[in-house]
C-alpha cells in the first residue's frame, strides 16, 4: 500500500471523526435548546394561568382574562409542537379554546382582595410586573399587535396606581379613625409623593388633591394632639411638683412638732 493511500485513509478517518463529533455536538445542542425552549414555554404558560386565576378581582376583567387565555393558548400550542404527546397540554388547549368561544360571557371569579399591608401590595405589584412581561413577550411573538400591547401596558400601569391609591386611602382613614394621626400623616404624605412621581399625573389630579387635603387635616390633628399631650404633661409635672412640695412641708412640720 502506497504512502499516498495511507495518508488518504488517515485524512479520511480524521474527517469522519470530526464529522461524527460535529454531528454529536449539534445533536446535543439541539437537545439542550429543545429542553430550554420547553422549560421556557412551561414557565410562561404557568405564569399566565396563575395570573388568570389569582390576580385580585378588582383588577381582573373579562377582556384581560381572555387576553391571558389567548397568550396561554399560543404557548400551549408551541409546547405541543415540542412535546406532541403531552396529554395535559392537549386537555388544557381544549379548555382554553372553549373559553375563547364564550367571549364576553366568560365568568370572572377572581376574589376581590382587601389590601391592608405593604406585604400584600408588594405581592400585587409583582403580579402586575409579571403581567407586563407576559404582554411584552406576547407582542414579540406576534400573539398580539404592538398597538394592543401598548394599550394593555398603559392599563396595567393604571391598575398599579389604583391599587396604591386604594391602599393609601384605606390605611390613612383607618389610622385617623384610631386617632393615630401621626401615622396617618405619614401615609398621606407617601400618597402625595407617589402620585406626584407619576409620569402622567393628570389622570390622578382628583386623588392627589384629596390626599393633599387629608394630609393637611392629619397634620393639623397631629399638631393638636401633640399640643394637648404637652399641656397635659406640663399639668402633670406641676401637680407632681406641688405634691412633692406639700410632702416636704409636711415632713418639716412633723420634725418641728
**pLDDT tens digit string along 80-124?**
888 888 888 899 999 999 999 999 999 999 999 999 888 999 999
The reported pLDDT for the residue numbered 30 is 66
The reported pLDDT for the residue numbered 237 is 57
Residues 120-141 have a mean pLDDT of 94
The reported pLDDT for the residue numbered 248 is 55
Separation of CA 158 from chain center: 13
Q: Which phi and psi (to 5°) does residue 124 adopt?
A: -65, -40
Q: Classify 9 in phi/psi space as left (phi over 0), alpha (psi -120 to 50) or beta.
A: alpha
Gap between the Cα atoms of 203 and 191, Å rounded? 15
The number of beta carbons lying within 10 Å of the beta carbon of residue 207 is 21
Supply 180's cell numbers.
Answer: 393615630
Q: How confident is the model at residue 228 (pLDDT cuts 50, 70, 90)?
A: low
**Residue from 83, 109, 80, 110 nearest 94 by CA:** 80
The reported pLDDT for the residue numbered 159 is 95
Q: Is there a contact between 73 and 48 (Cβ–Cβ < 8 Å)?
A: no
Q: Which phi and psi (to 5°) does residue 201 adopt?
A: -75, -10
Q: Is there a contact between 58 and 112 (Cβ–Cβ < 8 Å)?
A: yes
The reported pLDDT for the residue numbered 242 is 55
**Residue from 83, 76, 128, 82 nearest 99 by CA:** 76
The reported pLDDT for the residue numbered 249 is 57
**pLDDT tens figures, 191-221:** 999 999 998 888 999 999 999 999 999 989 8
Q: pLDDT averaged over the chain?
A: 85
Who's near 68: CB < 8 A, 6+ residues apart? Answer: 48, 49, 51, 52, 134
Amino acid at each position: 500500500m502506497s504512502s499516498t493511500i495511507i495518508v488518504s485513509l488517515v485524512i479520511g478517518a480524521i474527517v469522519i471523526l470530526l464529522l461524527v463529533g460535529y454531528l454529536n455536538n449539534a445533536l446535543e445542542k439541539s437537545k439542550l435548546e429543545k429542553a430550554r425552549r420547553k422549560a421556557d414555554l412551561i414557565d410562561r404558560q404557568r405564569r399566565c394561568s396563575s395570573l388568570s386565576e389569582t390576580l385580585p378581582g378588582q383588577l381582573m376583567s373579562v377582556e384581560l382574562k381572555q387576553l391571558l387565555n389567548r397568550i396561554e393558548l399560543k404557548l400551549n400550542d408551541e409546547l405541543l409542537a415540542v412535546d406532541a404527546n403531552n396529554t395535559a397540554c392537549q386537555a388544557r388547549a381544549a379548555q382554553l379554546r372553549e373559553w375563547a368561544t364564550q367571549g364576553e360571557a366568560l365568568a370572572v371569579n377572581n376574589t376581590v382582595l382587601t389590601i391592608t399591608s405593604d406585604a400584600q401590595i408588594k405581592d400585587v405589584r409583582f403580579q402586575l410586573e409579571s403581567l407586563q412581561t407576559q404582554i411584552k413577550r406576547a407582542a414579540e411573538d406576534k400573539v398580539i399587535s404592538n398597538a394592543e400591547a401598548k394599550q394593555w401596558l398603559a392599563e396595567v400601569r393604571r391598575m398599579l396606581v389604583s391599587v396604591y391609591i386604594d391602599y393609601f386611602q384605606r390605611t390613612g382613614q383607618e389610622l385617623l379613625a384610631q386617632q393615630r394621626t401621626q401615622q396617618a400623616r405619614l401615609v398621606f404624605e407617601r400618597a402625595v409623593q407617589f402620585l406626584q412621581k407619576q409620569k402622567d399625573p393628570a389622570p390622578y389630579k382628583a386623588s392627589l388633591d384629596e390626599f393633599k387635603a387629608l394630609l393637611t387635616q392629619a397634620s393639623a390633628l397631629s399638631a393638636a394632639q401633640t399640643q394637648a399631650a404637652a399641656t397635659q404633661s406640663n399639668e402633670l409635672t406641676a401637680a407632681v411638683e406641688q405634691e412633692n412640695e406639700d410632702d416636704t412641708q409636711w415632713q418639716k412640720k412633723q420634725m418641728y412638732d
